[in-house]
Amino acid sequence: MITIENVPQHYPSDIDLYLFHEGTLYEGYKMFGAHFERSEDREGFRFTVWAPNAGKVSVVGDFNNWEAGKNPLARVSKSGVWTAFIKDIREGERYKYAIQTPEGSIILKADPYAFYAETRPSTASLTCRLDGYEWQDSKWIRKRDKEDIYHRPMLVYECHLGSWKKKEDGRLLTYRELADELIPYIRENGFTHIELMPIMEHPYDRSWGYQITGYYAPTSRFGTPKDFMYFVDTCHEHDISVILDWTPAHFCRDTHGLGRFDGTPLYEPTDPKLTDRPQWGTYNFDFSKNEVISFLISNARFWMDVYHVEGFRIDAVSSMIYLNHNNDLPFELKNKNGGDENLEAIAFLKKLNTAVFSKFPKALMMAEEATDYPLVSSPVEDGGLGFNYKWNMGWVHDILRYMKLDPSERRNHHQLITFSMLYAFSENFVLPFSHDELVYGKRSLLNKMPGDEWQRFANLRVLYGYFMTHPGKKLLFMGSEFAQFDEWKDLEQLDWNLFGFKTHRSFLHYSSELNHFYQNTSCLWRLDHEGEGFEWIDPNDAQQSIISFIRKGKRKGDYCVIVCNFTPAVYHHFRIGMPAEGNYLEMLNSDAKEFGGSGQLNRKPVQSVPEPYHNQKFSMEITVPPLGITIFMKETKKRSAVVRHIK
């Protein structure tokens, strides 16, 4: 027999309620939702929910035949928070809140703070205990928390778990199966981080997780919350950091979700002009409500606290900053000052980042921000938004526009590959070749490249080389590492059958070697965000579509010289300026035959001579490969031992 106990007088406490309504309850997941409790004479779950405009609230589920009113919650104050302890409820029980609206009707809502949910298409929340998992990553976390993220390599593998790989019968892999197969794969191929497209519970597969109903629940498509803990734990075991894609801008309209939660606009704005996001068919969050602020900031800290993730890529930041960005409304929105900025959203972003970094100083907070809004990755105290990284959408747009051109036309658009260096250090940038570039008819990276088959692969090799040597951290969408030919098909697995073709096997070998070279070459990341880490040798050779530059590390003599050729022409005895005298080794050449190239290599050490060139005191003559990148470093015994060329 299910019975209602008296609401504990100590919980929710007055201070918790005060902080919640002030917008500073940053661990709200400890108060709200369904929490297991046990004492000498009782065992069950305590339920707490915010529904300020409800006439009544009760918990319904299989345990009471979904009968509204049978297990009521008590309103603990005028604040609109309701709570009750229900005895004898077990873990895994289905439940929802039955909410009486101001009009007197009863609506059923999933728990906004639920830790687990039924697998689609079912929509109930599930009682769940998050304790009991034995984490094995304490040593790894101590190491992580000592590292300087800005001066370390970062190569992110962006992944959609539902379409990375599937079972033979088409079913999805579980979190545990993905942990045991996906994580060793990306570690072997030289990635340092994995970014998961949203894994918070969502009803529709084809939203890719960007329209969420359960912000506190890892989707049950792939298993249980503890299965996801195992996934993260396995990532850390393999020295892989975990970034979650997160959408605090908007949420889906499904009736069991957050929309009109108590029969009135609650999580969304009350002003109907501000409620809808027509382009996505969603509701905006209302950043003027302190309780919504508490909900979202608590959610960010929840994933870091409970699931040990390293941080977030925050989706659609531009649409949060600007009222009319990606807004298809037939009228223009204005703030109270007559401007286009969403003042409340900007204040929220600053508060979010301040709250996250106060608890997790080494967190990764990456903004997907596509405008020229200033100081996105600068600290709040310096007038910034407080993120520590921003996606460099301008670079991606320019370089892909350039690479789509026939090589004979590139000389007329040379600025597309050099312009980025005018602003490369204005923010802490991530260079993202993300899923956004590979869907809706945009074609895969390989299929964007011009020319015959050989030229397409060669173009992609030089693109990846420039990507890896350009200042900024890196992100690559899954499948791009082996040159997937088709654009991303979100309902199917990647085209693993391409490994039957030598061209794709050779390309994976190239991208893996390039990734590992990047990780092991400190001058390619040590000063990613500082102007001293980059120097042009020659950015002006538009006629031959060749650029050359130096990437520098912190220590004297820690540098490499990079030459990129964006045409099929081969140049022998090509002179470039060099910063110092000595013998230089070609450490990597994308035209090596083992990578699918034509074999135009610099097989022997090349000596620089004291002949000034390109504003450098020294120079040397090299072979420049067709549609290729070549990287030189000063000869040492150690480097001589690792240089490998296929003759």
Catalytic residues: 315, 368
Phi-psi region of 376 (alpha: psi -120 to 50; beta: other; left: phi over 0): alpha
Report which DSSP code applies to 564: E
DSSP string of 492-542? S---GGGGGSHHHHHHHHHHHHHHHHHHH-GGGTTTTTSGGGEEEEEEEET
> CA–CA distance from 475 to each of 149, 277, 443 (Å)?
15, 28, 18
**What is the spatial distance between Cα 96 and Cα 125, in angstroms, rounded to a whole number?**
6
User: H or E stretch including 394?
Assistant: helix 393-404
Find, among 387, 413, 390, 391, the residue nearest to 402 by Cα: 413
- Which one, of 30, 16, 18, 23, lies nearest residue 305 by Cα? 30
From residue 409, give the alpha-carbon distance in Å to each of 356, 419, 421, 450, 466. 47, 17, 22, 11, 19
Q: How far is CA 24 from CA 224, 291, 348, 355, 371, in A?
A: 30, 9, 11, 9, 29
Give the dihedral of Cα atoms 75, 79, 80, 83; nearest 10 deg: -40
Residue listed under structure tokens 């098909």: 489
* Residue 172 DSSP label: B
DSSP line for 251-273: EE--TTSSTTTTSS-SSS-SSHH
Enclosing H/E stretch for 211: none
**DSSP at 166:** B
The rounded radius of gyration (Å) of the Cα atoms in the chain is 27
CA distance 446 to 503: 12
Mapped onto helix, strand or coil, the DSSP state of residue 624 is strand
**Which is it for the CA torsion 166, 169, 175, 178, positive or negative?**
negative
Nearest to 197 by CA among 396, 478, 446, 511: 478
The Cβ of residue 105 has, within 10 Å, a number of other Cβ atoms equal to: 10
Picking from 508, 405, 393, 519, the residue whose alpha carbon sits closest to that of residue 461 is 508
Give Cβ neighbours of residue 499 (< 8 Å, ≥ 6 apart). Answer: 482, 505, 508
Q: Which amino acid is at 537?
A: I
Strand (E) or helix (H) holding 21: helix 14-22
Reply yes or no: is the peptide bond before residue 539 cis, omega within 30 of 0.
Answer: no
Angle at 617 between CA 463 and CA 611, to 5 degrees: 100
Measured distance CA(67)–CA(321) in Å, rounded: 43
Could you tell me which residues are beta bridge partners of residue 218?
200
Both structure tokens of 274:
């501000």
